[in-house]
A and B are shown apart, each in its own frame.
Chain A
């Protein structure tokens, strides 16, 4: 299995601890970590780990500032010796039977890609109360084929040439779209579970982080067939559609008050985001301005990406 790591050395250590508890026989798997850490940090976090001492873990570094998830994953799977390559992220905590379940699903569908389930880590659920949270929830099979929990046959990776290193975001779905083009199937492994970190951010922090999604325009340009998943073939997701409609509505309302109606789906959805009940609605309402800033920034970022790559996507 392959993990790309950058800027999360403690989370990486916790991932290694989770992998140490895998039920799949250690003779059947190895772990390659490709990271951007200095020698001292790598020695502390990786070399000192029992998986390293057991010969299960190998790691290699790329020069700080030159790494990216796609590049690091490519270095990793090319160095791996297995016929099946499982990917997860350094902010994930796989369940003990994860590899065993993933391998079992791969045995049933030998040439297919296998996608497992990713859920917000139950151990970190309290963090979900924060207004700005980053986590991941995937019930396989989903359209985006994230690398937090996915397995590719090595021969398929070789045939495809691995991840597209020009893609700064969405490299995982890009890989799948190329695999699909050549007729590859995908199998779901809902019982192969990975728990994803739940991290709270400040508003500037989450805005900064989400700006990377502007690079998804590259993906839309390169894989026009992926637009089938977009609402109206232009919007990345329903959130972006609602946010754009609300923006148009509010700006247009200066000339024609009726246009403010366009903001209603956004307001309604925002008020429901914490669930039902008065208290939850009050919390959602209090969080709405911050959420609006985040979402508008995200849509504007996508617009900038659309201009750069000359393709309509928001």
Chain B
């Protein structure tokens, strides 16, 4: 089977995306970490206006996605997933969202656009993934949907998911 080109969108540069990048590369795929840089001054300004999640990297992430000819966009934050959804409309390729930390009520709507981006990421991504059982349970509790349980470094399970989603998109 041909290697997949996967965009890993992770502004927070979490261990999850790095582990997955290494595992996918070892499995012969072409993963790329895209759009990770934020503009500190702009972030500070946005934070003062009530935006509590990083946003300034999104234009760059969206541009990188459009340039990259990726098969799949895999986001690791709600804002990254929100940036990938317009790309899906344009390119017709799937978006996967991995929730990297357990959700709790305090963090669900603690800033402007927070609920909007989380709801879009969880409800509109083609697949929702939880790397641990604690995260899966928290997503079920707050969003009433069941993410697939896949460990960050499990390249084979991620590949199966990507191919399944690509096949669904083609049909």
Binding site secondary structure of chain A: helix
For chain A, residues 1 to 35, give those with C-beta under 8 angstroms from any C-beta of chain B. 10, 13-14, 17-18
Residues of B within 8 A of A124 (CB): 109-110
Q: Are B105 and A126 in contact (CB under 8 A)?
A: no
Q: Are B143 and A13 in contact (CB under 8 A)?
A: yes
Q: Are B105 and A129 in contact (CB under 8 A)?
A: no
On A, residues with C-beta under 8 Å from B are: 10, 13-14, 17-18, 44-45, 48-49, 93, 121, 123-124, 126-130, 197-198, 200
Residues of B within 8 A of A13 (CB): 142-144
Residues of B within 8 A of A130 (CB): 49-50, 112
Binding site secondary structure of chain B: loop
Q: In the complex, which residue of chain A has the Cβ closest to the Cβ of B50?
A: A129
Q: Is B1 an interface residue (CB 8 A)?
A: no
Residues of B within 8 A of A45 (CB): 144
Q: Are B112 and A10 in contact (CB under 8 A)?
A: no
Q: In the complex, which residue of chain B has the Cβ closest to the Cβ of A125?
A: B110
Beyond A129-B112, A198-B109, 17 extra complex contacts between A and B, CB < 8 Å: A10-B119, A10-B143, A13-B142, A13-B143, A14-B142, A17-B142, A44-B145, A45-B144, A48-B144, A124-B110, A126-B52, A126-B110, A126-B111, A126-B112, A128-B50, A130-B50, A200-B50
Residues of A within 8 A of B89 (CB): none
Q: Is B156 an interface residue (CB 8 A)?
A: no
Q: Are B48 and A129 in contact (CB under 8 A)?
A: yes
Q: How close is A178's CB to chain B, nearest CB, in angstroms?
A: 35
Interface size for B (C-beta < 8 A) is 19
Q: How close is A286's CB to chain B, nearest CB, in angstroms?
A: 11
Q: How close is A195's CB to chain B, nearest CB, in angstroms?
A: 10
Q: Is B27 an interface residue (CB 8 A)?
A: no
How many Å lie between the Cα of A128 and that of B113 in the bound state? 12
On B, residues with C-beta under 8 Å from A are: 48-50, 52, 105-106, 108-113, 115, 119, 141-145
Residues of B within 8 A of A126 (CB): 50, 52, 110-112
- Counting chain B CB atoms within 10 Å of each CB, the highest count among A17, A48, A124, A197 belongs to A124
Q: In the complex, which residue of chain B has the Cβ closest to the Cβ of A9?
A: B144
Q: In the complex, which residue of chain B has the Cβ closest to the Cβ of A197?
A: B109
Q: How close is A62's CB to chain B, nearest CB, in angstroms?
A: 21
Residues of B within 8 A of A14 (CB): 105, 108, 142
Q: In the complex, which residue of chain B has the Cβ closest to the Cβ of A43?
A: B144
Which 9 pairs, one residue from A and one from B, show the smallest C-beta to C-beta distance?
A129-B50, A126-B111, A126-B50, A200-B112, A44-B144, A124-B109, A45-B144, A123-B106, A130-B50
Q: Are A93 and B105 in contact (CB under 8 A)?
A: yes
Q: How close is A203's CB to chain B, nearest CB, in angstroms?
A: 14
Q: Are A127 and B144 in contact (CB under 8 A)?
A: no
Q: In the complex, which residue of chain A has the Cβ closest to the Cβ of B141?
A: A17
Residues of A within 8 A of B115 (CB): 10
Residues of A within 8 A of B143 (CB): 10, 13
Q: How close is A279's CB to chain B, nearest CB, in angstroms?
A: 9
How many Å lie between the Cα of A18 and that of B106 in the bound state? 12
How many Å lie between the Cα of A100 and that of B104 in the bound state? 24
A-B contact pairs, 7 of them (CB 8 A): A10-B115, A13-B143, A18-B105, A123-B110, A124-B109, A127-B111, A129-B49
Residues of B within 8 A of A93 (CB): 105
How many Å lie between the Cα of A48 and that of B119 in the bound state? 18
Residues of B within 8 A of A44 (CB): 144-145
Residues of A within 8 A of B112 (CB): 126-127, 129-130, 200
How many Å lie between the Cα of A297 and that of B82 in the bound state? 32
How many Å lie between the Cα of A45 and that of B122 in the bound state? 14
Q: How close is B35's CB to chain A, nearest CB, in angstroms?
A: 24
How many Å lie between the Cα of A49 and that of B52 in the bound state? 29
Residues of A within 8 A of B145 (CB): 44
How many Å lie between the Cα of A45 and that of B144 in the bound state? 6
